[in-house]
Amino acid sequence: MSKEKELKKRRKQLLEWYDTHHRSLPWRSPPGTPPPPAYHVWLSEIMLQQTVVKVVIPYFLKFIRQWPRIEDLASAPLDDVLTAWAGLGYYARARNLHKCANTVTQDYDGKFPQSPEQLQKLPGIGPYTAAAIASIAFNVPAAAVDGNVERVLTRYYAITTPIRNNKKQLKTYAEQLAHVDDKNAGDLTQALMELGATLCTPTKPDCPSCPWQQTCMAHQTGVAADLPKRAPKQIKPERYGTAFFLTAEKSGKLLLQKRPENGLLGGMVEFPSTPWQDAAYKKEQDILSHFPLPDHIPAVFKKLPGRVTHHFTHFTLHLTVWAGSVPEKGLSAPLFWAAQEDLHKYALPSIMKKLHNHTLKENKSFL
Ligand code: SF4
């Protein structure tokens, strides 16, 4: 069989399987029906980066309820978008989401461009997302290669070296499949992703249910579950800090501050803390030198037992907590007071929510 015939056959097998086995998701159109709005495809793809479908569904529904059109999202205050995003992590994505909504609204009259090349020029859209939007929303044949797709193709071709050594080759394989036919481009993209998410899963590939089982080289040679080969693990650095959980003496309000717009957790709200450094702080003076209110360090501080740990992409953070109460005096930005009951209105990242819960558990007298 010629290579083209083989690709067409494999594509057909995959699309037929997808017709009957696709999951119904709020941002998806059933196979063979008109594509979903590009706004929905884009929003779901950005949310799905590094996050699983189950977690994304309620966020996606909340966003399209609150901001039904891209123009609505563009005109929303960034803080509202960050607050709605809180819990999905990777806040740079939420900031880019807002930026991108503004660019599409202002420069493209609210309509996403259709080619992967133009899509890639928009904020927060990389090659994978551009190909996913172009194919799913506009039926443009384009290969969207994410981790799922890489795993499926690594197994299909029984590649025995780690994925990171074969990125280019895997992209070529995906492109061959995408370009061999220009029909059903969106369904093909979603079918390949679906295969990786539901059958060709990381630990237990369900080969007997797979439409490609007869030609998949890993399955045929009995090594499917052993692939892809893992690259040697890189050790994540650890960082340490102390957070100040300060309440106002009379009103019980909490002292918060807004992080700088750029950088990690940019524009999010946090409990003030020492800088995060490579080793735990050993001396009290070192911690106190970063106290956010130099004029009224409380006479009584409670150092709460335990610590709060959070795994960021590139490092693990351990925060200890010092809790105390201080006079409620005028503050200057980025510090501000917030009532306990209003805490949910602020874009608090997961680490700060954990810290709040930890403090509630360890020290109810402050709340
Ligand atoms: S046959 Fe198994 S290993 Fe091969 S693509 Fe299908 S699920 Fe993955």
Q: Where in the chain is the domain with CATH 3.90.79.10?
A: 238-366
* Candidates 45, 150, 194, 270; catalytic one: 45
Q: Is the CB of 153 within 6 Å of ligand 1? A: no
- Contact between 307 and 319 under an 8 Å Cβ cutoff? The reply is yes
Mean pLDDT of the 270-290 span: 93
- Contact between 131 and 189 under an 8 Å Cβ cutoff? The reply is yes
State the chain's mean pLDDT as an integer: 93
For residue range 200-230, list pLDDT tens digits in order: 999 999 999 999 999 999 999 999 999 999 9
Q: Is the CB of 200 within 6 Å of ligand 1? A: yes
Beta bridge partners of 309: 318
Element (H, E) at 193: helix 185-194
Q: Is the CB of 134 within 6 Å of ligand 1? A: no
Give me the pLDDT at residue 281, please. 92
Query: DSSP characters for 53-68?
Result: HHHHHHHHHHHHHH--
- CA of residue 220 to ligand 1 center, whole Å: 9
Give me the pLDDT at residue 262, please. 84
Residue showing tokens 């390949």? 192
Is 45 annotated as catalytic? yes
Mean pLDDT of the 17-42 span: 96
Q: Where in the chain is the domain with CATH 1.10.340.30?
A: 3-226
Give the CA diameter of the chain. 82
pLDDT at 293 over 90: no
Give me the pLDDT at residue 328, please. 86
Give me the pLDDT at residue 299, please. 63
Among 3.40.640.10, 1.10.340.30, 3.20.20.70, 3.40.50.720, what is the CATH number of 3-226?
A: 1.10.340.30
Give me the pLDDT at residue 168, please. 96
pLDDT at 367 over 70: no
Q: Is the CB of 213 within 6 Å of ligand 1? A: yes
Measured between alpha carbons, how far is 147 from 115 in angstroms, rounded to an integer? 22
Peptide bond into 228 cis (omega under 30): yes
Measured between alpha carbons, how far is 124 from 130 in angstroms, rounded to an integer? 10
Give me the pLDDT at residue 234, please. 81
Q: Which atom of ligand 1 is nearest to the CA of 205?
A: 7
Q: What is the pTM of this model?
A: 0.74
Q: Is the CB of 17 within 6 Å of ligand 1? A: no
70: number of CA atoms within 13 Å, CB side?
23
pLDDT at 364 over 70: no
More confident residue, 243 or 293: 243
- CA of residue 136 to ligand 1 center, whole Å: 23
Q: Is the CB of 218 within 6 Å of ligand 1? A: yes
Mean pLDDT of the 106-123 span: 97
Closest CA to 116 of 129, 104, 131: 131
- Contact between 231 and 164 under an 8 Å Cβ cutoff? The reply is yes
Give me the pLDDT at residue 185, please. 96
pLDDT at 365 over 60: no
Best of 21, 177, 216, 229 to mutate for ligand 1, by most ligand atoms within 8 A of CB?
Answer: 216
Going by CA atoms, what residue is nearest to atom 2 of ligand 1?
Answer: 207
- CA of residue 198 to ligand 1 center, whole Å: 11
Peptide bond into 334 cis (omega under 30): yes
Give the pLDDT band (50/70/90) at residue 92: confident
Q: Which atom of ligand 1 is nearest to the CA of 199?
A: 7
Query: DSSP characters for 131-155?
Result: HHHHHHHH--------HHHHHHHHH
pLDDT at 307 over 90: yes
Give me the pLDDT at residue 330, please. 73
Encoding tokens for residue 142? 């384009």
Closest CA to 347 of 93, 84, 89, 83: 83
| % of the chain residues with pLDDT over 90 | 79
User: Is the CATH number of domain 238-366 3.90.79.10?
Assistant: yes
